[in-house]
Amino acid sequence: MEIGIDSFAAANVDVNGNLDFNNAKSMGELLDRIEFADKMGLDLFGIGEHYRKEFLDSAPVVILAAAAGRTKNIRLTSAVTVLSAADPVRVFQNYATLDLVSQGRAEMVVGRGSFTESFPLFGLNLHDYDQLFSEKLDLLLTIRDNEMVDWAGKFRPALNRQAIYPRPMQKQLPIWLGVGGTPSSFARAGRLGLPLMVAIIGGETHRFRPLVDLYRAAGDKAGFSQDQLKVGIHSFGYVANTKEEAVANYFPGYARAMTKIGKERGWPPVTKSHFDSQSGPLGAIVIGGPEEVAEKILRHSKALGGIDRFTFQLDNAELSHDQLLKTIALIGQKVKVLIG
């Protein structure tokens, strides 16, 4: 199983959760963490895409390219590319270039995103949410598989015998499909034979099994082998020396951050009892000491019929740079070893 980290390039905050606006320092520390993750033997590092003051990842491929020059082995991916709001031609060109810069270590996870700020920012209609994604995914895969492209759609000018360059170093640029809980998204990934990255940030992980089964069944029906139908999980997580230490470090910032987002979405404030249920044996949050975290990841893998990749989302709890470095070390030196 591949083990990695996803980051939203969170800006630094003070002890009260207020942004300190030293964005250059935040970005420098993020690059330090990616370099450190490479040294600790992690398999991949992903950068998200958001258009909010608290996250500095509106240009993720730029961050990944900077990280490519400071790393040797770790795979560099988006987490996720908001494809609905992007031009697939430029997305492919950017990540093909990243693949060349990183000597064949680039990937992308494409999805629709959980925030909607990109739609008004780029003059898009939110009512076209799924149509935009479906059409742009079709174009992106066409470009990936063909140097010379003939394509026509509704939302973008047609391409007529248009060559798309550069081509990546890898024979085929890896493209994963990032999904939440929509059955049609799981089925689409299976029909296309794309590896699946499931964002499980709430509820009980085992409840996603029917959706993962739907993905595998759709892929099988479309003629793809089970080896091609990879499954990954992206979940909130944090590792410390003990469960008690992990909760003490993680919960205060998590509660502030998630309560703030909850106000935008009509969710109730985060309570300790809710957090305890989510960080317990069946809940989605993967937090604790190294042995406990490794056991939970393996338990989640078994519950879903086996997973190929697990990524920790560490940017949702206002953790300090030092705390993040320590958890990266524990993930690389202990959790990854325990999982095998």
Q: Looking at the structure, give the CATH architecture of the domain made up of residues 2-339.
A: Alpha-Beta Barrel (3.20)
In the block, tokens 């810069």 appear at: 101
Task: Identify any residues that bridge with 176 across adjacent strands, giving them in sequence order.
Answer: 109
Dist CA 128 CA 227 (whole Å):
33
The pLDDT score that the predictor gives to residue 300 is 97
Ordered alpha helix ranges (H), 266-319: 272-278, 290-303
Burial class (CB in 10 A: 0-12, 13-18, 19+), 171: exposed
Q: How far is CA 254 from CA 17, 259, 318, in A?
A: 10, 8, 7
Cβ atoms of 39 and 83 within 8 Å: the answer is: no
CA-based max dimension of the chain = 60
Cβ atoms of 175 and 194 within 8 Å: the answer is: yes
Dist CA 12 CA 188 (whole Å):
37
The pLDDT score that the predictor gives to residue 110 is 98
DSSP secondary-structure letter at 168? P
Dist CA 53 CA 44 (whole Å):
26
For 75, the 3-state DSSP assignment is strand
Per-residue pLDDT of the chain (340 residues; tens, 9 = 90+): 999 999 999 998 876 677 777 999 999 999 999 999 999 999 999 999 999 999 999 999 999 999 999 999 999 999 999 999 999 999 999 999 999 999 999 999 999 877 889 999 999 998 898 999 999 999 999 999 999 999 999 999 999 999 999 999 999 999 999 999 899 999 999 999 999 999 999 999 999 999 999 999 999 999 999 889 999 999 999 999 999 999 999 999 999 988 988 888 888 899 999 999 999 999 999 999 999 999 999 999 999 999 999 999 998 899 999 999 999 999 999 999 999 8
Element (H, E) at 37: helix 23-39
Element (H, E) at 159: strand 159-163
The pLDDT score that the predictor gives to residue 137 is 98
In the block, tokens 């799981």 appear at: 186
Strands 159-163 and 148-151: antiparallel
DSSP secondary-structure letter at 110? E
CA atoms 298, 301, 305, 306: torsion sign: negative
Q: Which string of b and e fits 8-24 if b means at least 16 CB within 10 Å?
A: bbbbbbeeeeeeeeeee
* Domain residue spans of the chain: 2-339
Name residues whose C-beta falls within 8 Å of residue 261's C-beta, 6 or more positions apart in sequence.
267
